[in-house]
Structure 1
Amino acid sequence: MSKALIQSSDPITLIGGGQATAADIAEVLTIAPKLVAVDGGLVTALAAGVTPQAVIGDMDSAPPEALARIPDRHQHRVSEQQTTDFDKALRSVAAPVVVGVGFCGGRLDHQLAAMHTLLAHADRPCILLTPTEAVLIAPPDLSLDMAAGDVVSLFPLVAGAGRSTGLEWPIDGLAFDPATFIGTSNRALGPVSLQIEAAGIVLIVPRRYLSPLVAHFVQGGARWPARG
C-alpha cells in the first residue's frame, strides 16, 4: 500500500476536473468536509469559491496562477504517468471514506478509468457522485433503508457473487461476470441488504443515499481489506 500523504479521521472530498457544480461541492462538503483537489480539480474548486486544503497530481492541468493559491507544502506532485491523477490521489489519502466529485460525466474513457481506480483501491472506500447517482465498489456487507421502486444496479468489473434481501430480483445464486451476466436496473422493495463475496461489483444507487453510504464507513461498517 502506498504511504498516505494526507490522513484524516473525517471523510475527505476529492474534486476532479470533470463535471462538478458549485452546488455539488457545497453539498458534499457538508458530509466530507476536508477538500483535496486532484490536479485540474483545483480550478473547479476555486471557481466554486472554495480553496482546497491540498492538491495532488502530476500538475499538468493545474495552472501556475491556481497553484500559487496553495502553499507549497500542500502541493503533492506525483509525476509518474502510468496511472491517472484520480488513482494518484486515492492511493495517497487515508480516511474512513472518500467522496469524489468531478470524476463522472464527460469523456467515457475517463469514467472507465475511474471505475478501474475504484477497483484497484477497493480497500480505500470511495463514493463517486454523478448528477443523479452515487457509485462505489459494493462493500462486503451493506444495509440501506431504501424506498420501494428505487433503482439498485450492480455491475461486475470481475466475476463475483453475493446475496440480497429487499430486491425485486434477488441476487442469491447468480454468477456475475462482465462478459456474461450483469445486474443493472434492479429495484428495491424497501430496505435492502447486500452481502458480496469479493471486491469487484460496482453498486449504483440514487444520489440521495450518499449520506447513509458515508455513515456506513464512518461508523465502522464492513470494508474490503488491503490486497496482500
Structure 2
Amino acid sequence: MTDDNYLCRASKILLIGAGPSTAELIREISVFSDAIVAADGGFRAAENAGARAILVVGDMDSQHDLPTDQAVAHIADQETTDFQKCLAVCDADVFLGVGFLGGRLDHQLAAFSAILNEPRPVVLVDEAQLVFVVPPEFSMDLEAETPVGFYPMVPIQASLRGVRWPLSNAAMSPMGQIATSNSALGGALEISVDGPGLLAILPRRDLAGVLAALDRGFGKAQHQ
C-alpha cells in the first residue's frame, strides 16, 4: 500500500481489539499514542474508556449501530483478521495493541502471526505484560530481577545479554532452545537476532522504555 492509500497515519497508533481489556488500561496506554483505531468490536471497548477512535476497521460483523459520523473502513474479506486489516490501512512508526492478548487462544495466536509478518514494530499490551517481535538489534535498561521471557516463533539465531541465563549465537526454535522464565541482571538488556521471529515478553511497567528503544533502533527504514 502506498502512503496515499493509508486511512490513518501517525507516529504512534493505538489499535484496540475486542479481546480482554479494561477502560483503565486503554486510558493508560492511549497516553503513549497519537491516534486510536478500533478493530471492529474494539470500538465498544474504546467507547467505554472514553477514547475517541478516529477509525473503525474490520468486516463489521460485531457492529450494527455505530455513530453516523464515525469513520469506518469496511473490509469484507475473511482471509485476514480485523487486527491485520487495521495494520493494512494504517501507517505508524510504532503500533500499540490492547485487546489482542488473552481471551481466546486462537485469537491470540493469530495476533502473534500478524506481528511476526509485520515489518513495522507492534507492541501488544495487557494488564500484566507486553509482547513484541525483537528487531535485529535491541537494547534497553532494566531493573535487576525484572522478569523477561523470549520465545522463538520460527528457527533463528539469537544472542541475549544482561539476563541471568544469557545466550550467544544460539540456535533457537519452538521445538528446541527457548528462553522463557528469564530475568534481568540490571542495566542493559541487549538482544541480537538474525531475522524476525523472536517474541520478547516484559512487564507492562516497562512500556515507556520499550517504546524508546524501538524508536532508537527499529525505524521503518530498516524494514523497507
TMscore range, shorter length: over 0.9
| TM-score of the aligned structures, taking structure 1 as reference length | 0.91
CA contact (8 A) 1:96 1:217 kept: no
5 Å-filtered alignment, 1:181-220, equals 181-190=177-186, 191-218=188-215, 220=216
SS state of the match for residue 194, structure 1?
Answer: strand
1:47 aligns with 2:48: yes
SS state of the match for residue 148, structure 2?
Answer: strand
Which residue number in structure 1 is paired with residue 83 of structure 2? Answer: 86
- 1:158 aligned to which of 154, 161, 164: 154
Which residue number in structure 2 is paired with residue 68 of structure 1? Answer: 67
Name stretches of at least 5 consecutive residues in structure 1 with no aligned partner. Answer: none
Deviation (angstroms), 1:70: 4.1
CA contact (8 A) 1:167 1:186 kept: yes
CA contact (8 A) 1:12 1:97 kept: yes
Which residue number in structure 2 is paired with residue 21 of structure 1? Answer: 22
Name stretches of at least 5 consecutive residues in structure 2 with no aligned partner. Answer: none
For 1:59 and 1:13, locate their aligned partners in 2 and report how far apart those are by CA, in whole Å: 19
SS state of the match for residue 153, structure 1?
Answer: strand
For 1:169 and 1:104, locate their aligned partners in 2 and report how far apart those are by CA, in whole Å: 26
**Which digits, 9 at most, give the CA deviation of each residue in 1:27-54, with x for residues without a partner?**
1111113111010000111122222111
* 1:19 aligned partner, one-letter code: P
For 2:143 and 2:191, locate their aligned partners in 1 and report how far apart those are by CA, in whole Å: 15
SS state of the match for residue 169, structure 2?
Answer: coil
| TM-score of the aligned structures, taking structure 2 as reference length | 0.92
Give RMSD over aligned pairs.
1.6
- 2:7 aligned to which of 5, 17, 20: 5
Aligned identity (percent) is 37
Structure with more strand by fraction: 2
Deviation (angstroms), 1:216: 2.4
